[in-house]
Amino acid sequence: MDELPPVGLGTMGIGDPDLIETALDVGYRHLDTAQIYRNENAVGDGIAQAGLPRDEVFLATKVWADSLAPDDVHETTAESLDRLNTDYVDLLYVHRPVDTYHAERTLGAFDELVSEGRTRRVGVSNFTVPELDEALDVLDAPLFAHQTEYHPLFQRPELLAHAREHDYWLVAYSPLAGGKADEIEEVTAIARKHDTSPEAVCIAWLASEENVHPIPKASSREHMVANLEAATLELDPEDVERIEGIEREEELFPE
C-alpha cells in the first residue's frame, strides 16, 4: 500500500484558489475534491499558483453518482482533468454507489482509466462492507482507498477492520464531527488533559490508527497549520479507549 501524508485537506466548500495555495504553502500534499463540489477549477488554479511540481501533490477527485455509466465516467473524468489543469489524478473515487452505479460496468471504466494513465489509483466512497467486497472482486486495479465519514460520533469499526484486512486506506472525511468536536465530553476531557484543542484530539486519534488517513477541511492558515500539527499529538491508550467507547452517534451525511 502506497503511503499518504498523515493529514490531507478536504476541500468541500473551498472555492478560493488562494486558500489551496496557502494549504500547499503550509505543507499539505494531499488535496481531496470532487465533481459535485464544483471547485475543481479553484483547486487546479491553486496548485498552479503554488508552483509545486505536479508529482509532489497527491490529488484526488470523485465521479458523482449521475455519471457512473462507463461513457459518462470517461467523459466527466476528462472534464475534471481539464478543470484541474492536469493530465492525471493520483486517485479517482466512485463518490457513492447509487443512481447510475453498476459495479462491473462502472469499475470496469475505472480500470480503463488506470490503463490510460488518467488516474494512478482507484478508490470508492460511502460503500458498505458487501459493496466493498463486490468492488474487490470486480476491480483489476488494487483498491487504494475507501473514503467514508468517520469521527468520534460516527465510528465504523467494521469498515476499518475491512480496510486493514484488505490493506487499503480508510480516508476519514468530516473528522471534526461537523464542528461538534468541542461538544463531545470525552474529547474535551482528553483535550484538557493534553492542553490542546478538541479538534486536535479528533485528528490525532484518527491519524494514529493503522490504515486511517483524515482529511479535515480548513479555511484559514491558522486552522490548516493546527490540523497538520495535530497529527504529531500522541494520545495515551486510555484516551483512545475512551473515544472508541463513545456511545452517542450522529451521522452528518446520510445517503
Asked whether residue 203 is assigned to any structural domain, the reply reads no
- Over residues 14-35, the mean pLDDT reads 98
Residue 166 lies in a domain: yes
Tell me the average pLDDT of the chain. 97
Confidence of residue 3 (pLDDT cuts 50, 70, 90): confident
Domains: count for the chain: 1
DSSP conformation class of 144: E
Instruction: Write down the residue that cell numbers 468541542 correspond to.
Output: 182
Active site residues: 37
Query: What confidence score (pLDDT) does residue 81 get?
Result: 98
Tell me: the pLDDT tens digits for 29-45? 999 999 999 999 999 99
Dihedral angle sign, alpha carbons of residues 67, 72, 73, 75:
negative
pLDDT category at 117 given cuts 50, 70, 90 is very high
> Within a domain: residue 199?
no
Res 255 pLDDT > 90: no
**pLDDT above 70: percentage of residues in the chain:** 100
In the block, cell 468517520 appears at 150
CATH number for position 29: 3.20.20.100
pLDDT tens track for 57-91: 999 999 999 999 999 999 999 999 999 999 999 99
Res. 1 pLDDT band, cuts 50 70 90: low
What are the cell numbers at 37?
Answer: 463540489
Q: Side by side, which strands form the sheet with 122-125?
A: 9-10, 30-32, 58-63, 91-94, 122-125, 143-149, 169-173, 212-214
Torsion of CA 11, 167, 65, 126, to 10 degrees: -80
Q: Is residue 232 part of a domain?
A: no
Q: Which domain holds residue 45?
A: 9-179+211-223
Residue 246 maps to a domain: no
Torsion of CA 95, 101, 102, 107, to 10 degrees: -30
HSE-CB at 197 with a 13 A cutoff on CA atoms is 13
Residue 65 domain-assigned (yes or no) = yes
pLDDT at position 212 over 90: yes
Q: For residues 192 and 107, what is the distance between their CA atoms, to the nearest angstrom?
A: 46
In this prediction, residues 122-141 reach a mean pLDDT of 98
Q: Is residue 188 part of a domain?
A: no
For the chain, percent of residues with pLDDT exceeding 90: 96
What amino acid is encoded at 81 in this protein? Answer: L
**Single-letter amino acid, residue 139:** L
Confidence at residue 220, expressed as pLDDT on a 0 to 100 scale: 95
Note whether residue 233 is domain-resident: no
Strand partners, 148: 172
